[in-house]
Amino acid sequence: MGAGLGGLAAALRLQAEGIETTLYEARDGPGGRAYVFREGGFTFDAGPTVITAPSCLDELFAVSGKQLSDFVELIPNDPFYRIQWDDGARFDYHGDAARLRAEIQRLAPDDLRGYERFYRHSERVFDAGYRGLVAKPFLQLRDMLRVFPQLVRLRADRSVYRTVSRFVRNERLRQVLSFHSLLIGGHPFETSAIYTLIHFLERNEGVYFVRGGTGALVDAILRRFVDLGGRFRPSTPVQEIRVDREGRHQVRCAEDTQPFDAVVSNADVHHTYARLYAGEPAARRERRRLERSRWSMSLFLVYFGVDRRYSDLVHHTVLLGPRYREHLDEIFHGASLPDDFSLYLHAPTVSDPSLAPPGCECFYVLSPVPHLGNAAIDWEREAPRYADRILASLESWLPDLRKHVVVQRVFTPLDFERELAAFHGSAFSVAPTLTQSAWFRPHNADRRIPGLYLVGAGTHPGAGVPGVVNSAKATVQTLLADLRDG
Ligand SMILES: Cc1cc2nc3c(=O)[nH]c(=O)nc-3n(C[C@H](O)[C@H](O)[C@H](O)COP(=O)(O)OP(=O)(O)OC[C@H]3O[C@@H](n4cnc5c(N)ncnc54)[C@H](O)[C@@H]3O)c2cc1C
């Protein structure tokens, strides 16, 4: 239930195993956070744009008997990202080792050797933390105890930023090497150092954009699922699920109620327990636990198309202000909207001009903002003003931007809550802190409600495209093992 990338990947894996699968989706199309909308000849990916760890997508298609390349083309991004500070300074984060070294030499020559040591550290964390842990479910405490010595060795108790700081001294280089945890909803000063593995993962496997947009990947997974006989039910929000005396899950939507042997929920984890399984006593405990958990920040997004092209652009630009830690603290823990912002600008027409009419450019800009549980911001009133402030700030670099906007749409924390049933309007679900990871995270299978499985950002391993695609692997393996065990 739920056709986000995790739900789609799980549905495809199940159907490929010969398990008759029905995929319910509340919205009128698939994708969840990776939904697509089109307006005025522009194609907007609503969410994920940075594709890392393509090997997990290769594997997903391979288990369905096909190759990823039969369905989508991955365009390498070069540079992976541009980091740009408010004084105009830039750092191009390349995948190519020599070019990356040249950038470090330019920004922080004294840190070159420290960077090399960081890279090797990131590789060690990747070997232990990604290969070993990411697609394995943590259902019992002993699963956690088994990896505990490894976590201690890797100093998983430290934060990403603190670990990066052990290797490099330059503050800007520290930002360049630590901002990645934001991509999965984590505060770089609070997210476990396990996530330093992202650096090696990117260097090793690359950073890509899907030709036609991430939506083309979503469509490909759905198409493969349907080709194998899976049933897709868009515009069908599940209203309630009751477990009957025979242990079957009675799934009720507006049109009907149907029995299933098992449910894999890709809906927000809080929504799953608080609304869908509200009638189950075990769900109440989980709901209370989730309400005490720390949730990742929300996002404010402006999707816009302009009737001109800009030359000074790369595909992914991260714009950082003068304050890093203080600003992040305000986003993650503050009760109001910070006065300044850090932004991510997505310019997909740099890689694929077909996403906009000829001579035009397609963009989205996102600003991390506090979630609704922390800050009582009146987004209905604030949104137009905030969008205008953000676009105005981009004009220092993209001249006359607002004059050229021909299509514009915003998505606020309230939309995350209303459209995606996201608790507190969180963009990335339960925050990826050490005490909310692996066994401490909502489990891939709920042993107190037999037949209920979870997939997606709220379960192990967590948010991000590789995270949710790997969660599908962990969840489906558990479900298949349960079936074998009767
Ligand atoms: C703006 C943005 C940018 C991002 N950028 C990147 C990026 O560049 N790279 C990256 O790796 N990650 C990125 N992420 C993170 C990544 O997109 C998400 O972690 C991931 O897509 C979440 O997938 P999911 O499987 O958890 O499902 P979701 O996308 O959360 O989908 C859940 C689905 O369940 C449906 N649903 C909910 N309730 C019901 C119900 N009752 N009945 C039926 N259906 C229901 C929803 O409608 C939705 O379709 C980004 C996230 C956002 C928001």
CATH of the domain at 359: 3.30.519
Cα–Cα distance measured from residue 218 to residue 226, given in angstroms and rounded to the nearest whole number: 12
Q: Mean pLDDT of all residues in the chain?
A: 95
Tokens of 423: 């608790």
Query: Strand, coil or helix: what is 84?
Result: strand
- Domain assignment of residue 324, yes or no: yes
Q: What is the dihedral of CA 99, 102, 108, 110, to 10 degrees?
A: 120
The CB of 50 under 6 Å from ligand 1? The reply is yes
Q: Which of 218, 266, 268, 417 to mutate to test the pocket of ligand 1 (most atoms within 8 A of CB)?
A: 266
Query: Strand, coil or helix: what is 189?
Result: coil
Cα–Cα distance measured from residue 119 to residue 250, given in angstroms and rounded to the nearest whole number: 50
The CB of 4 under 6 Å from ligand 1? The reply is yes
Which helix (H) or strand (E) segment is 219 a member of?
A: helix 214-227
The CB of 33 under 6 Å from ligand 1? The reply is yes
Residue 65 to residues 71, 141, 246, Cα–Cα distance (Å): 12, 35, 34
Which helix (H) or strand (E) segment is 305 a member of?
A: strand 298-306
pLDDT band at 307 (very low <50, low <70, confident <90, very high): very high
- pLDDT surpassing 90 at residue 153: no
Distance of CA 482 from the midpoint of ligand 1 (Å): 27
Please choose, from the candidates 86, 111, 89, 88, the residue with its C-alpha nearest in 3D space to the C-alpha of residue 101.
111
Query: Strand, coil or helix: what is 446?
Result: strand
Atom 7 (ligand 1) nearest CA:
48
Please choose, from the candidates 406, 414, 433, the residue with its C-alpha nearest in 3D space to the C-alpha of residue 375.
414
Residues 6+ apart with CB under 8 A from 218: 5, 8, 30, 31, 34, 36
For the segment 322-350, the average pLDDT, to the nearest whole number, is 94
pLDDT over 70 for what percent of the chain? 100
Tokens of 330: 């305000």
Sign of the CA dihedral running 283, 286, 288, 291: negative
- Domain assignment of residue 24, yes or no: yes
- Domain assignment of residue 318, yes or no: yes
User: Is residue 315 domain-shared with residue 435, that is, in the same domain?
Assistant: no
- The pLDDT value recorded for residue 418 is 97
Query: Domain boundary residue among 390, 419, 448?
Result: 419
- Domain assignment of residue 401, yes or no: yes
User: Is residue 378 domain-shared with residue 441, that is, in the same domain?
Assistant: no
Cα–Cα distance measured from residue 117 to residue 168, given in angstroms and rounded to the nearest whole number: 9
Q: Which of 12, 25, 33 to mutate to test the pocket of ligand 1 (most atoms within 8 A of CB)?
A: 33
User: Is residue 55 domain-shared with residue 166, that is, in the same domain?
Assistant: yes
User: Which pLDDT tens digit goes with each residue over 204-222?
Assistant: 999 999 999 999 999 999 9
User: Which pLDDT tens digit goes with each residue over 20-63?
Assistant: 999 999 999 999 999 999 999 999 999 999 999 999 999 999 99
Return the beta strands (E) in 340-411 as ranges: 343-346, 361-369, 405-411
User: Is residue 321 domain-shared with residue 445, that is, in the same domain?
Assistant: no
Distance of CA 236 from the midpoint of ligand 1 (Å): 17
The CB of 34 under 6 Å from ligand 1? The reply is yes
The CB of 183 under 6 Å from ligand 1? The reply is yes
Q: What would the DSSP string read from start to end of 325-346?
A: HHHHHHHHH-SS--SS--EEEE
Distance of CA 358 from the midpoint of ligand 1 (Å): 30
Based on the structure, what is the number of domains in the chain? 2
User: Is residue 318 domain-shared with residue 180, that is, in the same domain?
Assistant: no
Please choose, from the candidates 221, 203, 215, the residue with its C-alpha nearest in 3D space to the C-alpha of residue 130.
203
Query: At 312, phi and psi to the nearest 5?
Result: -90, 60
Could you say which DSSP state residue 21 is in?
Answer: -
For the segment 381-403, the average pLDDT, to the nearest whole number, is 96
Residue 186 to residues 192, 277, 437, Cα–Cα distance (Å): 9, 28, 12
Give the amino acid at 216.
Answer: A
User: Is residue 204 domain-shared with residue 316, that is, in the same domain?
Assistant: no
pLDDT band at 140 (very low <50, low <70, confident <90, very high): confident
The CB of 454 under 6 Å from ligand 1? The reply is no
Q: Residue 4 forms beta bridges with which residues?
A: 31
User: Which pLDDT tens digit goes with each residue over 236-278?
Assistant: 999 999 999 999 999 999 999 999 999 999 999 999 999 999 9
Cα–Cα distance measured from residue 454 to residue 197, given in angstroms and rounded to the nearest whole number: 25
- pLDDT surpassing 80 at residue 147: no
User: Is residue 86 domain-shared with residue 195, that is, in the same domain?
Assistant: yes
Atom 12 (ligand 1) nearest CA:
464
Tokens of 236: 């069908």
Distance of CA 267 from the midpoint of ligand 1 (Å): 9
**Cβ–Cβ under 8 Å, residues 178 and 188:** yes
Q: Which numbered atom of ligand 1 lies nearest the CA of 50?
A: 8
User: Is residue 58 domain-shared with residue 83, that is, in the same domain?
Assistant: yes
User: Is residue 170 domain-shared with residue 68, that is, in the same domain?
Assistant: yes
The CB of 267 under 6 Å from ligand 1? The reply is yes
Residues 6+ apart with CB under 8 A from 325: 161, 189
The CB of 6 under 6 Å from ligand 1? The reply is yes
pLDDT over 90 for what percent of the chain? 89
Cα–Cα distance measured from residue 85 to residue 105, given in angstroms and rounded to the nearest whole number: 18
Please choose, from the candidates 289, 157, 241, the residue with its C-alpha nearest in 3D space to the C-alpha of residue 449.
241
The CB of 338 under 6 Å from ligand 1? The reply is no
User: Is residue 215 domain-shared with residue 321, that is, in the same domain?
Assistant: no
- Domain assignment of residue 255, yes or no: no
Q: Which numbered atom of ligand 1 lies nearest the CA of 31?
A: 49
Query: Domain boundary residue among 363, 386, 419?
Result: 419
Q: Which structural domain range is residue 322 located in?
A: 298-419
**Cβ–Cβ under 8 Å, residues 198 and 229:** no
- pLDDT surpassing 80 at residue 135: no
Distance of CA 170 from the midpoint of ligand 1 (Å): 35
- Domain assignment of residue 209, yes or no: yes
Residue 28: exposure state from Cβ atoms within 10 A (0-12, 13-18, ≥19): exposed
- The pLDDT value recorded for residue 438 is 85
User: Is residue 415 domain-shared with residue 459, that is, in the same domain?
Assistant: no
Cα–Cα distance measured from residue 296 to residue 182, given in angstroms and rounded to the nearest whole number: 9
Could you say which DSSP state residue 436 is in?
Answer: G
- pLDDT surpassing 90 at residue 351: yes
The CB of 427 under 6 Å from ligand 1? The reply is yes
Query: Domain boundary residue among 419, 436, 462?
Result: 419
Atom 35 (ligand 1) nearest CA:
2
pLDDT band at 129 (very low <50, low <70, confident <90, very high): confident
- pLDDT surpassing 90 at residue 127: no
Give the amino acid at 87.
Answer: D
- Domain assignment of residue 270, yes or no: no
pLDDT band at 150 (very low <50, low <70, confident <90, very high): confident
The CB of 2 under 6 Å from ligand 1? The reply is yes
Q: Which numbered atom of ligand 1 lies nearest the CA of 9?
A: 25
Q: Which numbered atom of ligand 1 lies nearest the CA of 237?
A: 42
For the segment 440-445, the average pLDDT, to the nearest whole number, is 94
The CB of 210 under 6 Å from ligand 1? The reply is no
- Domain assignment of residue 49, yes or no: yes
User: Is residue 150 domain-shared with residue 211, that is, in the same domain?
Assistant: yes
Q: Which numbered atom of ligand 1 lies nearest the CA of 276?
A: 41
Q: What would the DSSP string read from start to end of 229-278?
A: T-EEETT----EEEE-TTS-EEEE-SS-EEEES-EEE-S-HHHIIIIITT
For the segment 186-204, the average pLDDT, to the nearest whole number, is 93
